Amino acid sequence: MRRPNRALALAVGVPFMAGCFSTFQVPVPEPPERSSRIQGVVRDDGADGARIEFDAVDQVAWSDSEVVVVGILEDEAVTRSFPISSLSGVLVRQIDPAKTSVVIAGLFIGAIATISLLLTGQARDGVPLPGVR
């Protein structure tokens, strides 16, 4: 049996896997755990925090008192600084378990349906598929 082309497998698999990611709010990390992999911030503005999510983040710089984010916000390149004391959380991209489960289940069900059609040669009981013997 011939192995599938790697480029074809990537072309088919990447859109499915990209759909498995979502942006989640997490608490502001402690200084040793701070990274540049944030997508935005959630400001502590009363009951409903203002969620500021960047379309693309080019650079993140943490200091003791603020975080500076350079990125694209509403189709405009901006540099924004946010005092850490005013933040209730940061936004990070993570794998969404619900979306991943749906994609994997769809792949399993599709594979099982395809295999059963190929092995039996029938779509409905007693009705053979054209061209399959």
For 81-103, the pLDDT digits (tens) are: 999 999 989 999 887 777 777 77
Residue 95's DSSP bridge partners are 21
Helix H, strand E, coil C: the string for 2-66 is CCCCHHHHHHHHHHHHHCCEEEEEECCCCHHHCCCCCCEEEECCCCCCEEEECCEEEEEEECCCE
Dig out the tokens for 79 from the structure: 């540099």
90 in a domain, yes or no?
Answer: yes
Residue 14 reports pLDDT greater than 70? no
pLDDT, position 41: 92
111 in a domain, yes or no?
Answer: no
Residue 125 reports pLDDT greater than 70? no
For 43-79, the pLDDT digits (tens) are: 886 555 688 899 999 999 999 899 999 999 989 999 9
Farthest CA pair distance, the chain:
73
12 in a domain, yes or no?
Answer: no
106 in a domain, yes or no?
Answer: no
Least confident of 22-36, 77-91, 98-112: 98-112
Give the residue among 11, 14, 44 at the shortest CA–CA distance from 27: 44
Dig out the tokens for 67 from the structure: 């975080």
Q: Domain count of the chain? A: 1
pLDDT, position 109: 86
Rounded to an integer, the average pLDDT of 30-39 is 86
55 in a domain, yes or no?
Answer: yes
Sheet holding 66-72, edge to edge: 56-62, 66-72, 77-83
Domain residues for the domain of 89 are 21-95
Sign of torsion over alpha carbons 96, 99, 105, 110: negative
Q: How confident is the model at residue 16 (pLDDT cuts 50, 70, 90)?
A: low
Residues in the chain: 133
